[in-house]
Structure 1
Amino acid sequence: MLNRLAVIGAGAVSAAMVAAAPGMASAHGPESGGHGPHGIVRTDLASDQPDVGKIHDDKLKNSWGIALGPTTPVWVANAGSGFATLFSGATSHKGVSEQSPIKIPAADPAMTGQPTGQVFNTTKGFVIPHTGKPAAFIIAGRDGTINAFNGGTSAVQVKKVTGAVFTGIGLIPTRHGTVLAAADARNDRIDFFNSNFQQISLHGAFEDHRLPADASVFNIQEVGGRTVVTYEVGSAYADPTSDKIQGFVDEFSNDGRLQHRLVNPGVLQEPWGLTIAPRGFEYPGDLLVGNFRDGKINVFDPRNGHFIATLRDDKGHPIVIDGLWGLVPGNGVAGDKDDVLYAAGPNHQANGLYGILSAK
């Protein structure tokens, strides 16, 4: 895992996101097709690469976390540039368009921010100091920062945890109230913060003692009424030819009790992206898990963790997105509600990419 973080270097993680999708109730059993025979259409919308997508933006660098609210543009956190880029459109009625980017502060003011996971705040808590306003978006940083935004051209740094490398973030409704959970990949732990951004302890919650010693927490999100935590296996990244299991995904109750682990027939390869497939997508109501390592998106039954399928195009080929990070359903402002939006850091995280997946 630390080898991968070293590759990221000064620029790299989210997106946590809000899964604006039906509750976590699978509509399909194992190997069922859903809309499967029709296939998925992938459309790249924006990138820093020439001739990729419809919009060129040099701030798209290692596009990681992706989040949106019910009526907002989609936010794409770019760990390689220190900005969140905002997009709307790409619906059945509108072409894609871009709004002004938001600067994400770094732990060291002389450095560039490294935003990773992010989440839209659905609560009245998490008020930004000296503003009286709750954060609209909360963004984690690979430099151990938590930043919050509610207006202006820049987010506000509300927390810094020395030595932490936050690679994922989520808002979790627990019996203690809604807490902010940040996945610290360097120290293999989840840090928790109350609605005042004060760090708290949830003793024994969201832990899986059956994990191998070289597994490290990678992402945490509330998805369809449960908390889902992904783990990467560090030694596997050091050996790209390894056939070892290279990731795990656990489902917890929102109070931190382990419910089950996704059954992994070798398909989890550094899993990070998480969402529930929306109603008009393939496998509606099932859990989509995106792999950073091989760029594939696998489908699991959220009720029991059983593997169902890998998303494929209309020719039966797996959908592969180089450097895949975040996944989130569209909201009708950015993408249609039946679509799934994605962010990626292709070419070993040197570039950035935002796009859309649609059922054919």
Structure 2
Amino acid sequence: GAGGTSYEFVGDVTASPDPALRQLHQDGLKEVTVPGADSDTTDAGIGKTTGVIFNPAPLTSDKFVVTGQPVQVDGQQQLLSGSARFLFATDSGHISGWTEQGPDGQIVRHNGPAKDMFDGTAQGMNFFGIALEPGGGDTLWAADFGAAPQIRQFDKNWRPVPTEGFANPFATGDPIDPADPGRGNKARPGDPAPFNITTIGDRVFVTYATTKAPDGGPATEFDAGEEDSLDAEQEAAAQDRPDRGKVAEFDAAGTVVRVLDDQGRLNAPWGVALAPPEFGALGGKLLVGNFAGAGRILAFDDGTGDFVDYLRDDAGEPLAVEGLWGLLFGNGESLGDAD
């Protein structure tokens, strides 16, 4: 995504038997307009696209159905309806879906808008990442970094429902429900809160950025959508120990499995990926990208959760991509090499 638009690509699979897929290119679907987001970087901007996920359910399924999605085909408007192929989230609190099922069941891949399916702006929600429950795909999770930061849960009909599990292990506020300690505590400004949620197989990873109170505002309120992080210069001054984030692994039921031993190296972490075995010295390692600071990618031992090293360039220096967001290996078939 870029601002209020998601750009779609295929190819870049160097060993593909199909010559057309060896080069990165776009087909008939080049861009999708995302509700609740735009490219305006001033205070007048309505929001930005923060998360996009693929929904593997058949287009004819009843999971996350979109109806009446407009698209122009050969100068004529069609209304598409079907299970969403892609789901989008914005930091303005919107969740939308895009389908490619035409009126007669045919595949229609043309530029057009996604359909707005949930708007949490009135509740102060700011979504920074989304993920589908492993396995059935009937549940959608969203990392809300807004006025009441937490993992939100939605059913297959786009309806918000009580979140099962995913208690914040770093929250220091009052119990959410004194009668049910398993629900954990409320977060307070200064605590790490969910910044993204990612699935790898049947595993679920939640990255946490450090929250803060608004400048000059009440110390008990959150500066919604704004993380407390260090820039690259401040990060270097802290000897690369910004200590501005955490990563926890959960099972599919929302029970915490472990917390990665980052040793204070995280700085608003967002992207998480598991490197394939063929990925050189870091093959099989769990990779976590810092959004803030220099934008470094940390590698963790997937067995112990211990920090191992940074992803490094040809000169042996830690790779740095300021503003780094997602991490994703290709599928080796239609988009990107698997390694």
Q: TM-score, normalised by structure 2?
A: 0.69
The match for 1:98 is: 26
Which of these residues, 113, 117, 126, is aligned with residue 165 of structure 1?
126
- Listed as ranges, the gaps of 5+ residues in structure 2 are 16-21, 39-43, 69-79, 101-109, 173-187, 213-226
**Cα drift, residue 116 of structure 1:** 1.0
**Identity over aligned pairs, percent:** 35
The match for 1:270 is: 268
Contact 2:36–2:93, Cα closer than 8 Å, also in 1: no
Instruction: Determine helix, strand or coil for the equivalent of 2:258.
Output: strand
- The reply on whether 1:154 has 2:131 as its aligned counterpart is no
Q: Which amino acid aligns with 1:180?
A: L
- The within-5 A match list for 1:2-151 is 77-78=1-2, 80=3, 82-92=4-14, 94-99=22-27, 100-106=30-36, 114-123=48-57, 124=61, 125-130=63-68, 132-151=81-100
Q: Distance in 1 between matches of 2:307 and 2:135?
A: 28
Q: Distance in 2 between matches of 1:84 and 1:239?
A: 28
Contact 1:275–1:329, Cα closer than 8 Å, also in 2: yes
Q: Which amino acid aligns with 1:105?
A: P
Bigger radius of gyration, 1 or 2? 2
The match for 1:20 is: none
Q: Distance in 2 between matches of 1:126 and 1:98?
A: 26
Deviates more, 1:238-247 or 1:206-215: 238-247
The match for 1:337 is: 338
The match for 2:151 is: 190
- Listed as ranges, the gaps of 5+ residues in structure 1 are 1-76, 339-360
Any idea what the Cα deviations from partners look like across 1:295-318, whole Å, max 9, x if unmatched? 111111233321122111232111
Q: Distance in 1 between matches of 2:331 and 2:37?
A: 32
**Which has a greater percent of strand?**
1
- Tell me: higher relative CO, structure 1 or 2? Use CA pairs within 8 A at least 6 residues apart: 1
The match for 2:209 is: 232
Q: Distance in 2 between matches of 1:111 and 1:320?
A: 28
Deviates more, 1:233-242 or 1:293-302: 233-242
Q: Distance in 1 between matches of 2:311 and 2:210?
A: 23
Moved over 6 A (4+): none
Q: TM-score, normalised by structure 1?
A: 0.65
Aligned-residue CA RMSD in angstroms? 2.5
Q: Distance in 2 between matches of 1:114 and 1:322?
A: 17
Q: Which amino acid aligns with 1:276?
A: L
Contact 1:141–1:166, Cα closer than 8 Å, also in 2: yes
- The within-5 A match list for 1:215-294 is 215-235=192-212, 237=228, 240=231, 241=234, 243=238, 244-282=242-280, 283-293=282-292, 294=294
